[in-house]
Amino acid sequence: MKSVYIFFLLAALIFTDPTPANATPLEKKWLKQCCPVSRCVFTQGDSPLRPPRFFGNTFDGFLEFTQSPRDTLQISGFIDIRGTINGAVEAFYDIHVAKCSTAFTDSPGDLATIDLDLESFGTPILTSVNLPISSIRDQCCFVVEEFASIRGSVPPNERILGIAPVEAVSNEALPLREKLSQYIGFEPEKICLPITEEDRQLFQKLIADQEEIADIVINEYRFLQHHGHNFKGGKLIHIMWVYICTEKEVEKVLIEVPPSKILSRKVLTHIEKRFDVIRPLDLIIPG
């Protein structure tokens, strides 16, 4: 029965070409192979590089860098440090990508390859810069506290709150995220990358669960077509259980889980679209 679902899915993909009509041959190739990705992961307590007066990262967070075909680096992430001031960090803190060696200077994180000081703690970071991803290879992400400096001190008394090396993300992670995105209806950039082996096992399980869900729905649909009723004798295919299972799985993989009403509507809308290719299937969707 899985082959039936794959047939409909392939048909939908054939007639929905996501490649821009005016894309260059290089861009078309790029879009099919997708994009180089690097990441900084701040883990509380970790002490990479061990510079002077640094006793370990004070928070958990991440920054992700995805290169587009035209050397635009899309940047996303989330950094939340308890006790920090809300709003743009520029007045009191630095969020930078810079050479790792700057950790051993009086101004860690300077001179910055990428300056993210207009971003805020506690809210999603979404921005871009006109640089290739190669420009940050072998560099580090820094979060530095500046307002703790003693005024007029020589050298400045800047305090490193977090350091994380820029690391290339395995190409194995990207197809898993893309495939899961098709099943759950959230854009890939809103889904965490499966970095660790444990992450990849979770994504593989969720994908297998979604494929099994499709098999069950299609089996019951074909049973209804042949016998005139579903497995329980009714005339409709009830999929409230699909919604419940999918919503629980979505919550495990999103970078930031939206409010309950927004999450529910997004999941329900995608379920309707996902199974619409096998109409005239009747679906009971909660309002």
Instruction: Please tell me the least confidently modeled range out of 64-73, 132-141, 154-163, 173-182.
Output: 154-163
Q: Across the chain, what does the average pLDDT equal?
A: 77
Q: What average pLDDT does the segment 140-160 reach? A: 71
Q: What average pLDDT does the segment 26-39 reach? A: 56
pLDDT tens, residue by residue, 185-239: 888 878 887 877 888 889 999 999 988 988 888 888 788 778 877 777 777 777 7
Instruction: Please tell me the least confidently modeled range out of 11-20, 49-58, 71-80, 265-274.
Output: 11-20
- DSSP annotation of 103: G
At residue 40, the pLDDT reads 93
Tell me the CA distances in angstroms from 145 to 58, 151, 164, 240, 276, one per residue in order.
11, 14, 15, 49, 52
User: Is pLDDT larger for residue 45 or for residue 172?
Assistant: 45
Q: Is 161 helix (H, G, I), strand (E, B) or coil?
A: strand
Distance CA 245, CA 74 (A): 32
Residue 15 has pLDDT above 50, yes or no: no
Q: What average pLDDT does the segment 157-166 reach? A: 88
Token readout for 102 is 């700057």
pLDDT tens, residue by residue, 83-125: 666 556 666 788 999 999 988 888 887 789 999 988 888 888 9
Distance CA 75, CA 20 (A): 22
Which residues, 6+ apart, have CB-to-CB distance to 173 below 8 Å? 37, 193, 194, 195, 199, 200
At residue 283, the pLDDT reads 52
Query: What phi, psi does 33 have (nearest 5°)?
Result: -90, -10
Per-residue pLDDT band at 18 (split at 50, 70, 90): very low
User: Is pLDDT larger for residue 141 or for residue 90?
Assistant: 141
Give how far the C-alpha of residue 91 lies from the chain's centroid of Cα atoms, to the nearest Å: 28
Residue 28 has pLDDT above 90, yes or no: no
pTM above 0.75, yes or no: no
Instruction: Please tell me the least confidently modeled range out of 4-13, 138-147, 201-210.
Output: 4-13
At residue 22, the pLDDT reads 45
Tell me the CA distances in angstroms from 5 to 36, 82, 199, 206, 229, one per residue in order.
31, 47, 26, 17, 20
Distance CA 274, CA 282 (A): 13
Per-residue pLDDT band at 6 (split at 50, 70, 90): very low
pLDDT tens, residue by residue, 243-266: 888 888 898 898 888 888 888 888
Q: Is 76 helix (H, G, I), strand (E, B) or coil?
A: strand
At residue 55, the pLDDT reads 87
Distance CA 169, CA 31 (A): 17
Query: What phi, psi does 88 have (nearest 5°)?
Result: -55, 140
Q: Could you give all domains of the chain from N- to C-terminal order, each with its CATH number?
A: 2-17+173-284 (no CATH), 34-168 (2.60.40)
Query: What phi, psi does 286 have (nearest 5°)?
Result: -65, 145
Token readout for 131 is 């640089």
At residue 95, the pLDDT reads 92
